[in-house]
Amino acid sequence: MATGDVTLPTMHPVMGFELGTARAGIKVAGRIDLVVMALREGATFAALYTQNTFCAAPVVIAKAAQEHCAPRYLVVNTGNANAGTGSRGLEDATQTCSTLAALTGVEVNAVLPFSTGVIGEYLPMDRLLGGLPAAVEALDVSGWNDAALGIMTTDTRPKGASVKVPMPFSKDSSGASEATISTADLTLTGIAKGSGMIKPNMATMLSFIATDAKIDDELLHRALRLAVDKSFNRITVDGDTSTNDSLVLVATGRGEVVIDEGNFDQFLAHLTAICGDLARACIRDGEGAEKFVSIVVESAASDEEALATAYTVAESPLVKTAVGASDPNWGRILAAVGRAPIANLDISRVEISLNSVDIVRAGQRSADYTEQAGVDAMQAEDIEIRIGLGRGGHSETVWTTDLGYGYVRINAEYRT
């Protein structure tokens, strides 16, 4: 099951960034499961990785390689996470990089590996390496759609976001004392995969975003951190942080737009929107999901308090199962708020609504609430739980799913 629109948007090519895929048979014969991405020389690069201590071998290799040189190729396999695989896993990830480096004529540290799938199993190296030439041969700036398919695991559909928008920027006016302001199209395109084991705490399981803007490393990293904090760091399916979470942002510099302090906020807004679309697409495709749930916490004493409260509600199995059954059991929401880490909460100031139906006012059931109104509100595919704490001016939103039989079945049968 999944919620919302199932179609990919128009995926605008990003000049200087190519994607190629192959059917290597890593786990399932006949499906796209190997993706190679090529960055033009001189592109800037930023990445965030999982904070799980048991990070996968490709994460270890990718983080180390970035310290040596600018990446030129990314290689992604699905079906096998190459996590919990010890020294052999590191050797397999390194061999993958060295083989692709030999095929493309770059040094081994210029290739970064990424994997997703089952934890604790070794990569089928003969099949993976055998698929690399075909993926390289298929490299194309229009390869986004196939790449979105190629990084899926338990996902039921590919996830992508793309925008091409006019962007003002400062342009050097050939020796003039002041730069002039010009406008040109900015392209931002990205894909993601993620359906279960989702509480990123940095990014989703795998996501790759590219832009044709010219932007230096410091600004690119700053933009990525800020965008992720309001998107991928605001989603949860099951509260589990993956061993393989990786988010990559590439700026090829092949477009006209130059990002500097003057237009950084506008660039950040577009990047945050792309990240938000991708993050919410992961929630809409959460394992077994039949509901898309927004938890909005308002009038908190701090952002941290609002976020902690939102996550307490979003990750409550009792709240999530009630949502899955379309049961307006608002007492479960109230109880979750009451156990959130809030010092000296005055319950007489707490307010809760469900899809605009007032259910709690002054810490108790709203005088005009009816069970039928709650039942009607819960029938919607998109559910908004809005919580007012009455403590200050801070607010945060977390997106999550319901919890039903589909999630249990998928994860009970994942290895079989």
- C-alpha 161/C-alpha 138 separation (Å) is 22
Q: How far is CA 267 from CA 11, 258, 272, in A?
A: 18, 10, 9
Contact present, 90 and 97 (Cβ < 8 Å): no
* Single-letter amino acid code for the residue at 280: R
The DSSP H or E segment spanning 104 is helix 86-104
| Cβ neighbours around 132 below 10 Å, total | 22
* Single-letter amino acid code for the residue at 267: F
- C-alpha 49/C-alpha 228 separation (Å) is 11
The DSSP call for residue 118 is B
- C-alpha 69/C-alpha 101 separation (Å) is 13
| Cβ neighbours around 390 below 10 Å, total | 17
- Of 226, 310, 196, the closest CA to residue 48 belongs to 226
Cβ partners under 8 Å of residue 331, min gap 6: none
Contact present, 187 and 212 (Cβ < 8 Å): yes
Contact present, 236 and 205 (Cβ < 8 Å): no
Known catalytic residue at 204:
yes
What residue has token string 């399981």?
205
- C-alpha 387/C-alpha 310 separation (Å) is 8
- C-alpha 220/C-alpha 32 separation (Å) is 30
DSSP string, 238-277: SSPPPSS-EEEEEE---SS-B--TTTHHHHHHHHHHHHHH
- C-alpha 205/C-alpha 106 separation (Å) is 27
- C-alpha 64/C-alpha 240 separation (Å) is 25
Contact present, 206 and 116 (Cβ < 8 Å): yes
- C-alpha 161/C-alpha 369 separation (Å) is 39
User: Of 78, 154, 204, 400, which is the active-site residue?
Assistant: 204
Q: If phi over 0 gives left and psi between -120 and 50 gives alpha, with beta otherwise, what is residue 175?
A: left
- Write out the catalytic residue numbers: 204
